[in-house]
Structure 1
Amino acid sequence: MGSLFNIINIPFGAMIRWFNEITGNYLIALLLFAIVVKLVMAPLAIKQQKNQIKQAKLRPLEMAIRRRYSGRNDKVTQQKVQQEVMELYQQEGYSPFSGCLPLLIQFPIIISLYQIIRKPLTYICSISAEGVNAIIGKLQSFGMFADKTVETLAEDQISLVNAVKGLTDVQFAEIAMIENVDKIADINLTVFGVLDLAQTPSFGNISWLWLIPVITFVTSFLGMRISRKFQPQPATQQSEDAAASMKMMDITMPLMSVFFTFMFSGAIGVYWIYQNVLNVIQTVIIAKIMPIPPCSEEDIRAAEKQLAGKGGKNKKRELDPNRPKPRSLHHIDDDDEDVPPSPAEADKEEEAGKEAPASPDAPKLKDDEQGKYRNK
């Protein structure tokens, strides 16, 4: 798995190193890196937007199908609704799971990015794993990081940067033979002289680092609210519980981001802030260029008429034209006289015709006057 992530980590790490060399500021280097990553992943965001547009165009038909069965919550009816919706998707060539592919592709990239930021000695300074372990061993021999293991420090190397930069000349001479160790001095993790991004915010120690969790919460909260405005409308009307869940998510998700910023170094939190801001900018730009069509009441009514027309045609094709039309059980149809009588009814009508006396007003036939037809 490590070699798989190295395919992404090595070139991206070289990119951060290059940005850090030309700017001389690790904070700006992270910003430029976040912008490049967002541009690289823009095609996936565009593909996801196209998928949402296609879904939005089918929404009137989907809502018309759901309205047809509104008020019926039994299991059979709900299965019928889902079946018709899936048939609609298949006819239009839309897959509701196609939007998951861009997310699946982004997932390993996101993991890789955090590895790069957490391991500047490995991916920015190009120090080997043996060299990193040697540096950690020397720092611990100097009385630093006594409460942490080598494995923990090797996974989160940001704290090692300032530790190495704070060594005396005599101490640094003991690690000077490690390849590329001199590049650590080029990484500047201090912002405005007061904010050390190598440190981790602490609940028990209020400092300038608390700005990172606060800004993370604000950008995450606003980002979710703004992004939801550009998302397609749900196919079904949300219940009060669903609406309450959405509001709760608007709070819990940013709070989770804040919680993680208290677990990692400040550099991770800053990158998280960059991503939140860039996500909002990307969402707004794509939504303006490729807007998602709204679903109005007129669109739903037109879709209902369209479905009714298709249903009528399908029923006509299914009926046998030679099959006699059955009598209605609820009312007398206007064309019931076209239905042939049953054999029993035919016999009764024949007997009634024989027994019925001739009408006195009926005109006499010519043959009757001549006595050719007489009753016997």
Structure 2
Amino acid sequence: MPDIFGTILWPIKWLVEAILVAFHTVLSGIGLDPDDGLTWVLSIVGLVLVVRACLIPIFVRQIKSQRRMLEVAPQIKKIQDKYKGKKDQFSREAMSRETMELYKRTGTNPLSSCLPLLIQMPIFFSLFSVLHNAQTGLNGIGLLNPELSKSFGEAELFGAPLHLAISTADGNVLVIVIAVTMVILMTGSQFITQLQIMSKNQSPEMKASPTFKQQRILLYILPLVFAFSGFTFPLGVMFYWLTTNIWTMVQQFLVIRNMPTPGSEAALAREIRMARKNQARGITVTEINSVGESVEVEKKVPTQRVQPVNKNRAKKQTGNKK
């Protein structure tokens, strides 16, 4: 039976290998040891940065889609309240019809926010497959030739082979120490990412929804996932995951700061920052205080300074007027 999944991922894996080998070639060209684990780890980091940078437009589109869904949320709730408690087929069809008409009228689509995630999944599996195959001695399908695959599979970082995990370390203390350290960093970065979303970028309506409660549960379950992955995943794959987590944490911080959810704590903080910036420029603004109240703040616009005129020039100007 043909490997349909492998066939679908083949072009993505080929591109992933090309980027990985390109970074390895550049790093080797500037003097790093081609067979050293640090060279391969930096190649993995470069691979993740390129992939995540290419996904930025999709991420921005996802944010815009979520904003539009947030805007129509009150209208959707009105439709749901209208048919609340009605279980007959006619009411269900009417509610579905009105909801779809609302989506069509406002240009929103509840599935569009899931599209970026669906696009990223094949890339993730391709990255994992390429890194795992290379570390287990399997040849690549493109530029990752047998020589490079062997180099990757035998590479060591500070004496810790990149293809080993805690479960296969066989008492290798360096592997265990590096893996545990990375698990802590992965857990911490993921926890901070989720915490800043929940504490700063949620409107009061979102905090009252069942989804918010599910997010709170995931906030404490995800560390267990990373603990399990840190026990079974090779070090090379964990470097990929850690780099991805750090990118996500920084990206989410910038998004929350500059594109916060309307009505959230982050949105209020941004309004305060913009108000203070306007005041510094000498513009009359309406400032939002710490409790969310509007406060009129009058600021005089600085007038242009009158340049002094010497006596001779003053007489000349007077003469001209005459």
Q: TM-score range by the shorter chain?
A: 0.5 to 0.7
After superposition, the C-alpha distances for 1:270-325 in whole angstroms (9 at most, x for unaligned) are 111111111122223334444432279xxxxxxxxxxxxxxxxxxxxxxxxxxxxx
Equivalent residue in structure 2 for 1:91, among 84, 105, 124 = 105
Is the aligned partner of 1:8 residue 2:2?
no
Q: For 2:164, what is the secondary structure of its paired residue?
A: coil
Provide the residue aligned with 1:210 in structure 2: 180
- Paired residues for 1:81-160 under 5 Å: 84-120=98-134, 121-123=138-140, 126-127=144-145
Provide the residue aligned with 2:55 in structure 1: 41
Q: For 1:283, what is the secondary structure of its paired residue?
A: helix
Q: Name the CA shift for 1:244/1:197 in 2 (closer, same or farther; >3 Å).
A: same
Provide the residue aligned with 1:163 in structure 2: none
Contact kept in structure 2, 1:216 and 1:258, CA below 8 Å: no
State the identity %. Answer: 21
After superposition, the C-alpha distances for 1:26-84 in whole angstroms (9 at most, x for unaligned) are 11111111110001111111110110111122234445556x669x6564699576665
Long gaps (5+) in structure 2: 33-38, 266-322
Provide the residue aligned with 1:56 in structure 2: 70
Aligned-residue offset at 1:266: 1.1
Provide the C-alpha distance between the structure 1 equivalents of 2:102 and 2:121, rounded to a whole number of angstroms. 30
Is the aligned partner of 1:184 residue 2:155?
no
Q: For 1:30, what is the secondary structure of its paired residue?
A: helix
- Paired residues for 1:252-291 under 5 Å: 252-291=221-260
Q: Name the CA shift for 1:210/1:30 in 2 (closer, same or farther; >3 Å).
A: same
Provide the residue aligned with 1:324 in structure 2: none
Is the aligned partner of 1:238 residue 2:209?
yes
Q: Name the CA shift for 1:97/1:282 in 2 (closer, same or farther; >3 Å).
A: same
Contact kept in structure 1, 2:45 and 2:243, CA below 8 Å: yes
Contact kept in structure 1, 2:153 and 2:163, CA below 8 Å: no
Amino acid aligned to 2:208 = Q
TM-score computed with the length of structure 1 as normaliser: 0.54
Contact kept in structure 2, 1:56 and 1:295, CA below 8 Å: no
Q: Name the CA shift for 1:69/1:106 in 2 (closer, same or farther; >3 Å).
A: same
Provide the residue aligned with 1:26 in structure 2: 40
Provide the residue aligned with 1:196 in structure 2: 161
Corresponding residue pairs, total: 239
TM-score computed with the length of structure 2 as normaliser: 0.62
Provide the C-alpha distance between the structure 2 equivalents of 1:182 and 1:26, rounded to a whole number of angstroms. 10
Aligned-residue offset at 1:232: 6.0
- Paired residues for 1:339-354 under 5 Å: none
Q: Name the CA shift for 1:6/1:232 in 2 (closer, same or farther; >3 Å).
A: farther
Q: Name the CA shift for 1:202/1:211 in 2 (closer, same or farther; >3 Å).
A: farther
Provide the C-alpha distance between the structure 1 equivalents of 2:82 and 2:153, rounded to a whole number of angstroms. 63
Aligned-residue offset at 1:223: 2.0
Aligned-residue offset at 1:199: 1.3
Provide the C-alpha distance between the structure 2 equivalents of 1:16 and 1:233, rounded to a whole number of angstroms. 44
Provide the C-alpha distance between the structure 2 equivalents of 1:31 and 1:182, rounded to a whole number of angstroms. 17
Provide the C-alpha distance between the structure 2 equivalents of 1:34 and 1:260, rounded to a whole number of angstroms. 18
Contact kept in structure 2, 1:60 and 1:295, CA below 8 Å: no
Long gaps (5+) in structure 1: 128-179, 297-376
Contact kept in structure 2, 1:227 and 1:280, CA below 8 Å: no
Relative contact order (alpha carbons < 8 A, sep ≥ 6): 1 or 2 greater? 1
Q: Name the CA shift for 1:63/1:4 in 2 (closer, same or farther; >3 Å).
A: closer
Provide the C-alpha distance between the structure 1 equivalents of 2:121 and 2:204, rounded to a whole number of angstroms. 26
Contact kept in structure 1, 2:21 and 2:144, CA below 8 Å: no
Q: Name the CA shift for 1:93/1:233 in 2 (closer, same or farther; >3 Å).
A: farther
Q: For 1:122, what is the secondary structure of its paired residue?
A: coil
- The range that moved more, 222-231 or 48-57, is 222-231
Aligned-residue offset at 1:221: 1.9
Contact kept in structure 2, 1:5 and 1:112, CA below 8 Å: yes
Contact kept in structure 2, 1:125 and 1:184, CA below 8 Å: no
Provide the C-alpha distance between the structure 1 equivalents of 2:16 and 2:212, rounded to a whole number of angstroms. 40
